[in-house]
Amino acid sequence: MTEITDFLNTNIKALRITDSVADAQDLFSEYPFSHFPVLDDGVYIGCADAEDTELMDIDKTMDDMRYSFDRFFVRDTTIWLDVLEVFAKNETNLVPVLNDENKYMGYYEITDIIKFFDQTPFLKEQGGILVVEKGVQEYSMSEVAQIVESNNGRLLGLFISESEMHKVQITVKISMGGLSEIIQTFRRYNYDIISEHQEDAYLNTLKDRSDYLDKYLNI
């Protein structure tokens, strides 16, 4: 089974604090990185930003840029979902990786992490995607799982895809089981169904036609 650390990259050596800004500019012009790690005597001290580096005097060193470095990183034990969050929060396509002793190990590239994500059952296996919504104080992940599994569904994954002050949206991927029954059970537990589904639309169409027939018969 592929582990996220299989994508740890050491092909390009980290910049050193003694390297010139010109060296960093050459690196960024050759590779499409938004950031790149900088080490001081082997210790990670931050990431140089490509746009900031472009504006610096080429005669200066990376030490002169130290104040502008971004400090984000992940551990080699960080799970893939948390790694994705670091990429997103820092609007970067490269994240340095440190071990538990703060030793610099290498870096992850966003394209590799997306490949890893593509290999997870959440994306790889066939199934239905369901987005449900409920109050922040009212939902529970165990309840969501119980609703799916009580209808003979197999849960491939779930996560909070949107969160507001009073409500959260939960994205659920399900294989096996009847999606219509699962949807109806969510409704009985006072979850709002945010996503649209063929099964749900079919039920709504049947209800509309039934209501129309009732009105017709009552004329």
- Looking at the structure, do residues 80 and 26 belong to the same domain, yes or no? yes
| Structural domain containing residue 175 | 122-197
- Looking at the structure, do residues 181 and 142 belong to the same domain, yes or no? yes
- Looking at the structure, do residues 37 and 94 belong to the same domain, yes or no? yes
- Looking at the structure, do residues 64 and 147 belong to the same domain, yes or no? no
Q: Specify the pLDDT at position 29.
A: 96
- Looking at the structure, do residues 165 and 179 belong to the same domain, yes or no? yes
- Domain endpoint, select from 68, 102, 117: 117
Q: Specify the pLDDT at position 203.
A: 55
- Looking at the structure, do residues 43 and 102 belong to the same domain, yes or no? yes
Tens digit of each residue's pLDDT (9 = 90 or more) over 128-151: 888 999 999 999 999 999 999 999
90 lies in a domain? yes
- Looking at the structure, do residues 127 and 82 belong to the same domain, yes or no? no
- Looking at the structure, do residues 97 and 132 belong to the same domain, yes or no? no
| CA separation, residue 188 to residues 95, 152, 182, 185 (Å) | 43, 17, 10, 5
The pTM score is: 0.64
| CA separation, residue 22 to residues 26, 137, 163 (Å) | 6, 54, 43
**Domains in the chain: how many in total?**
2
- Domain endpoint, select from 60, 83, 117: 117
176 lies in a domain? yes
Tens digit of each residue's pLDDT (9 = 90 or more) over 88-113: 889 999 999 999 999 999 999 998 88
Whichever domain contains 151, its CATH number is: 3.30.70.260
Give CB contacts under 8 A, 24+ apart, made by 12-18. 12/36, 14/38, 14/39, 14/44, 14/96, 14/104, 14/107, 15/39, 15/48, 15/62, 16/40, 16/62, 17/41, 17/45, 17/61, 17/62, 17/63, 17/66, 18/61, 18/62, 18/63
| pLDDT-flagged residues of the chain (< 70) | 1, 176-177, 196-219
- Domain endpoint, select from 117, 146, 168: 117
- Looking at the structure, do residues 84 and 17 belong to the same domain, yes or no? yes
- Amino acid type, 170: I
